[in-house]
Homo-oligomer: A and B are copies of this chain.
Amino acid sequence: MTTALSHASGDSVAGTADPPSPDWGIHLQPVGGLLVDRNSLNYVRLSSEALEIALQLARTRSVARTARIRAGTSRRDPDEVQAEMVEALSGSWLTSSWLNGALDQPLRVSGSTDAYLPLLASLQLTNRCNLSCSFCYASSGPALPGELTADDWVKVLERLAQSGIAAVTLTGGEPTIARDFRRILATATALIDHVDIFTNGLHWSDELVAMAAACGNIRAQISIDGRAERHDLIRGRAGAYNESLHTMRRLTAAGVPVIVAMTVTPANYRDVAAVVSDVDSAGARLFRAGRVVPVGRGDQDGFGLTPDQVADVIRQFQETRHLNLESLGWDQCADLGEQLAPIGLPVEFLTPGYLSWHVRADGQVTPCQIEAESFGRILAEPLERIGESGRLATVRSTARGCRCIRRLNPTDDVDLPFGLTPGPSTRLDTATSSCCGTARCGSGCGDD
């Protein structure tokens, strides 16, 4: 065994305002284990010893009792074990918080040592949309052949809930026009702790606003493409901008947190400050900027920003820092890196495929919304089969749209709590990237 936290190699940051107190859980994987805050989806990858201690501290809520358990197992002196444990845990802000009671209730165990199961899934309830934006990565419009029914989605939600998933995103197309959307929403809110709806904000009835507010665990993410004229032009509908802002006002007045997402391009980068100001007035909690990274699709389509344009956007962020809403974009990466550098935690995130899945409207499971390669079919196979190491290794090498899946860099040493035997695994090559992501994959790869 290694010193507690010596394997710590990751963290991620979710974009929530006023985060609730952490809901810590353990998420097992074939080559390691994570300590996850199931509310924010922040996590750290821990050594086996640190995971065991976390589970035992959370159970006993006592450093002395945890030391006595560990002394019993190792047949050593409890005081000696306790002194060593306290010294090891004092080595980082996170583990030293454990010594002060941060783990105050038993940890929920999710994941598997045989497969990579998701902490987050985005469910494309339908590919249909009531708009047809030039910008849409999902090429939404017509239904896909063989789209899942509401009955199917209810079953998907039940399986994901039973597997211990922490959050789902209902997306599309426009998810609110999926058949029996309200029934799917009522199921999701009851079974899953955190539910996001990615919507264009059009045609939200008063009843749907009231229902979403009653749920209490729902956030709405509304995409904005620029100031009013530009947004309406891209969306192909006059008044779309104003209607989306009106929906924001009604949702926030009812108590539903609203996140605004904007993909920044050479065409709209000057609009950032104006949009931030407008959506702040409409009550949005968070503004999340994404950009198309200047390789691949971005290059081909001319969506990449020049360094001067990036500097201009950062200036606009700084100008609007006094507003109520929180801004989060690629400019946060530097701060994040600096913040985490002193404790030696490189930036990590909910790696597509390995920690987050996208379930397409036809039931195919892909690493993320912009990736066409499937690694399973959601209702045709058990989740544990879909998340097999071998399948993920394959999709990792064949993925064309999603580059983030290659950024996973788990330790090569198998190091599982309690000496768990790992399942069949495939060695993963180290991949590095200067890009950083957020927990909800809200920036960095062109999907908004």
The residues of A with any CB-CB pair to B shorter than 8 Å are 28, 52, 55-56, 59-60, 62, 64-66, 68-73, 75, 78, 106, 108-113, 151-152, 154-155, 157-159, 161-162, 164, 182-183, 185-187, 189-191, 193, 207-208, 210-211, 213-217, 382, 384, 418-421
Provide the residues of chain B in CB contact with A73, threshold 8 Å.
182-183, 185-186, 211
**Complex alpha-carbon distance, A198 and B254, angstroms:** 54
In the assembled complex, which residues on chain B have CB atoms less than 8 Å from the CB atom of A420? Answer: 154-155, 158
Q: Which residue of B lies closest to A111 (CB)?
A: B162
Do A211 and B68 touch (CB < 8 A)?
yes
Q: How far is the CB of A71 from chain B (nearest CB, A)?
A: 8
Please name all residues of chain B whose beta carbon is closer than 8 Å to the beta carbon of A78 when the two chains form the complex. Answer: 210
- In the complex, what distance in Å separates the CA atom of A193 from the CA atom of B420? 19
Q: Which of A164, A210, A214 gathers the greatest number of chain B CB atoms within 10 Å?
A: A214
How far, in whole Å, are A162 and B383 apart by their CA atoms in the complex?
A: 13
Q: Give the complex CA separation of A110 and B108 in angstroms.
A: 12
Q: How many copies does the complex hold?
A: 2
Task: Compute how far the CA of A190 lies from the CA of B152 in the bound complex, rounded to whole angstroms.
Answer: 35
Q: What 5 A-B pairs come out closest when comparing CB atoms?
A: A72-B211, A55-B190, A68-B214, A65-B214, A187-B418
Contacts of A211 in B (CB 8 A): 68-69, 71-73
User: Which residue among A59, A78, A159 has the maximum number of chain B CB atoms within 10 Å of its CB?
Assistant: A59
Q: When the two chains form their complex, are residues A151 and B421 in contact, meaning their CB atoms are under 8 A apart?
A: yes
A215 with B154, Cβ < 8 A, contacts A186-B69, A186-B70 known: no
Report the minimum CB–CB distance from A221 to chain B (whole Å).
Answer: 20
- Find out whether the CB atom of A208 lies under 8 angstroms from the CB atom of B72: yes
Q: Which residues of B contact A382 (CB under 8 A)?
A: 382, 384
Whole-angstrom distance between the alpha carbons of A215 and B190 in the complex? 33
Q: Which B residues touch A62, using CB under 8 A? A: 214
The answer to whether residues A189 and B56 also contact, given A154-B418, A418-B158 and a CB cut-off of 8 A, is yes
Task: Please state if B154 and A59 are interface contacts (CB–CB under 8 Å).
Answer: no
Minimum distance in angstroms from A189 CB to a CB of chain B: 6
Which among A75, A109, A190, A420 has the greatest number of chain B C-beta atoms within 10 A? A190
Q: Is the CB of A215 within 8 A of B60?
A: yes
A-B contact pairs, 26 of them (CB 8 A): A56-B189, A59-B189, A59-B190, A59-B217, A60-B216, A64-B214, A65-B215, A69-B189, A69-B214, A71-B211, A72-B207, A72-B208, A73-B186, A109-B191, A111-B162, A113-B155, A151-B419, A154-B418, A154-B419, A157-B418, A162-B164, A183-B418, A183-B419, A190-B418, A382-B382, A382-B384
Closest to A113 in B: B158
Q: In whole angstroms, how far apart are the Cα atoms of A217 and B107 in the complex?
A: 14
Contacts of A71 in B (CB 8 A): 207, 211
A418 to B155, CA, bound (A): 9
Q: How many Å lie between the Cα of A340 and that of B154 in the bound state?
A: 34
In the complex, what distance in Å separates the CA atom of A244 from the CA atom of B71?
Answer: 25
The one of B59, B187, B214, B384 that contacts A72, using a Cβ cutoff of 8 Å: B214
Contacts of A55 in B (CB 8 A): 190-191
Contact of A190 among B56, B154, B193 (CB under 8 A): B56
